[in-house]
Amino acid sequence: MEQRENRQEEVLVKPGKKKNRLPGILLSLVLLAAAAAGFLYADDFRLAVEPRGEMEMLVPSGRQYEDPGADVVLYDRWLFPYGLILTEVPVEMRSDMNSKVLGKYSVSYSAQAFGLSATAQRSLRVVDTASPVLTLISSGKTILPGRPYEEEGYIAVDNFDGNLTDQVKRTVGLDTITYTVMDSSGNPTTAERKIPYFDPLPPDLILEGEQTLTVPCGSVYTDPGYTATDNADGDMTEAVAVDGQVLWYQPGTYELVYTVADAFGNVSQKVRTVTVEAQSRPEVNWPKGKVIYLTFDDGPGPYTGWLLDILRKYGVKATFFVTDSGYDAMMTRIVKEGHSIGIHTMTHDYDTIYASEEAFFNDLVGMQDVIYRNTGVKTTLMRFPGGGSNVVSRYNEGIMTRLSQAVQDAGFQYFDWNVDSNDAGGALRAKTVAANVIGGADTHRVSVVLQHDIHAYSVEAVEDIIVWGLNNGYKFLPLKSDSPTMQHTVLN
């Protein structure tokens, strides 16, 4: 026997009480002792049948029902207020349930003990949990894309509803058909058929422009373009992969491979050959007489306007190798007043500029574009940051040897100098700068002078240099593409 919670409303429920089990003989002795002591009264006894588990249960159709069983419980107000399970009292169970027929049923329980009887009932419901079986019929035929698919057939059968084929719904997609069906109990089934397309045709890949091209070195290569269309997938232009690279700054022959594949694995491929051709170099035209080419690097800056005023005062023309310093209006004035303008660098960051040929040319062409936007002049004059003989680029071994050749193949003319004002070194006064330039120019018939218009003392020295040059028979000219370059020996 097991002691249980009292189900009578007038008895306080105390959860957590341990169940007691007593053999039948021991229980009889307990009851006799209680009666002798005057604690047992027939009116105090109550017998109950209490089903185990849920009082309402769902039974899957077609499955054997296994009942959780029920307990016979004896209650007494004084002796067994929480109930005592009579483990040896049999429970009779009866049910009208048929697990093959959907519907509501019940299980009845009854028991007798000590002249008392009790009954209980559990509700059952037989339900259908099995989904219909949906079978797709396939003939193994294939069709060409773009042609309609002819349904090959399908069958839907349910364990209760029987044949549900006529209730199947079809949803046709781009390359799939989805079939759905639901039985009367709400159990769904879904199947999907991949439409058996067969596509033997590859995409039509067309290269715009010529398949063999020749472009001048130094002109950034722009691909003429391509298109790709497929009989099944439509426009596939964005799916085209292009392998290969045209180094527009390096003479040579390059191949670009265009590839596209449709959804059926058909591949089309085309090849374009691009020849980057070195540009011819202008023949140097040495000027007659004594000539000074004044050149200024690293500007424009806050003193460039002052410098232009001095040059205009004496009718002297000079050359400015400019940077992207933010003084755009000064670039415009330089060109309008008849001076030459050339490329120095956008950043003057040696670590960036000389990291690779590609990095250098990106900087070079970028600065060329800045000048063009401000002046309308697409200049090819240039000066290497640090000069052609610089050693700051040695972290990239041999790059100056390669670049000194590459820039000329790309149609640029690079200029060094044969007279250094030293205004970026120890000459920090105008008189020193002037003396350095005059002393150097006095030893050359043709001088290319290096100065920097970002230093006030260097700009201040220009008037003395001009006066000395004019008084000593020198002409001051701006650099042109065929002017003497005064190129240094390359040291890297």
The pLDDT of residue 175 is 82
The pLDDT of residue 17 is 36
Across 262-287, average pLDDT:
95
The CATH homologous superfamily for domain 290-476 is: Glycoside hydrolase/deacetylase (3.20.20.370)
Residue 435 makes CB contacts below 8 A (sequence gap 6+) with none
226-230 β-sheet, strand order: 204-207, 226-230, 234-235
Residues 95 and 38: their CA atoms lie apart, in Å, by 42
Catalytic residue, candidates 76, 183, 297, 416:
297
pLDDT of residue 143 exceeding 90: no
Total count of residues recorded for the chain: 492
Across 390-415, average pLDDT:
96
Catalytic residue, candidates 339, 344, 452, 455:
452
Q: What angle, rounded to 10 degrees, do the helices at 456-471 and 304-314 form?
A: 10
pLDDT digits (tens, 9 = 90+) for 355-377: 999 999 999 999 999 999 999 99
- pLDDT top residue among 417 and 18: 417
The pLDDT of residue 18 is 35
pLDDT of residue 129 exceeding 70: yes
Active site residue 452: yes
pLDDT digits (tens, 9 = 90+) for 147-177: 788 899 999 999 889 999 999 999 998 889 9
The pLDDT of residue 139 is 86
pLDDT range class, residue 19, cuts 50, 70, 90:
very low
Q: How many CB atoms lie within 10 A of CB 461?
A: 25
Residues 183 and 217: their CA atoms lie apart, in Å, by 74
pLDDT digits (tens, 9 = 90+) for 95-118: 989 988 899 999 999 999 988 999
Strand partners, 452: 297
**Can you read off the two tokens belonging to residue 307?**
């410098």
pLDDT over 70 for what percent of the chain? 91
Alpha-carbon dihedral of residues 441, 447, 452, 457, nearest 10 degrees?
20
**For the domain 133-194, what is the CATH code?**
2.60.40
Across 244-258, average pLDDT:
96
pLDDT digits (tens, 9 = 90+) for 79-90: 889 999 999 999
Its pTM stands at: 0.61
pLDDT of residue 409 exceeding 80: yes
pLDDT averaged over every residue in the chain:
90
The pLDDT of residue 1 is 39
70-76 β-sheet, strand order: 45-51, 70-76, 80-85
pLDDT of residue 230 exceeding 80: yes
The pLDDT of residue 13 is 25
Cβ(208)–Cβ(226) under 8 Å? yes
Nearest CA to 169 out of 196, 143, 188 is that of: 188
pLDDT range class, residue 339, cuts 50, 70, 90:
very high
Across 196-221, average pLDDT:
92
Q: What angle, rounded to 10 degrees, do the helices at 399-409 and 357-375 form?
A: 40
Across 332-345, average pLDDT:
98
- pLDDT top residue among 4 and 322: 322
Residues 172 and 237: their CA atoms lie apart, in Å, by 27
| Residue linked to tokens 């205009």 | 312
- pLDDT top residue among 211 and 263: 211
pLDDT of residue 306 exceeding 70: yes
Domain boundaries, the chain: 24-127, 133-194, 204-277, 290-476
| Residue linked to tokens 């549900």 | 164
Encode the chain in three state secondary structure: CCECCCCCCCCCCCCCCCCCCCCHHHHHHHHHHHHHCCCCCHHHEEEEEEECCCCEEEEECCCCCCCCCEEEEEEECCCEEEEEECCCCCCEEEECCCCCCCEEEEEEEEEEECCEEEEEEEEEEEECCCCCEEEECCCCCCECCCCCCCCCCEEEEECCCEECHHHCEEEECCCEEEEEEECCCCCEEEEEEECCECCCCCCEEEECCCCEEEEECCCCCCCCCEEEEECCCEECHHHCEEECCCCCCCCEEEEEEEEEECCCCCEEEEEEEEEEECCCCCCCCCCCCEEEEEEEECCCCCCHHHHHHHHHHHCCCCEEEEECCCCHHHHHHHHHCCCEEEEEECCCCHHHHCCCHHHHHHHHHHHHHHHHHHHCCCCCEECCCCCCCCCCCCCCCCHHHHHHHHHHHCCCEECCCCEECCCCCCCCCHHHHHHHHHHHHCCCCEEEEEEECCCHHHHHHHHHHHHHHHHCCEEECCCCCCCCCCCCCCCC
Nearest CA to 462 out of 416, 423, 418, 424 is that of: 423
Please state which of the four CATH numbers 3.30.420.40, 2.60.40.10, 3.40.50.150, 2.40.50.180 is assigned to the domain occupying 24-127: 2.60.40.10
∠ CA 12-16-21, nearest 5°, is 100
The pLDDT of residue 23 is 52
Residues 425 and 432: their CA atoms lie apart, in Å, by 11
The CATH homologous superfamily for domain 204-277 is: Immunoglobulins (2.60.40.10)
Side chain identity, residue 168: V
Cβ(196)–Cβ(141) under 8 Å? yes
Contacts 24+ apart (CB under 8 A), 14-21: 14/82, 17/82, 19/85, 20/84, 20/85, 21/85, 21/87
Q: How many CA atoms lie within 13 A of 340 on its CB side?
A: 26
Is 290-476 in the same CATH topology as 133-194? no
pLDDT over 90 for what percent of the chain? 79
Active site residue 442: no
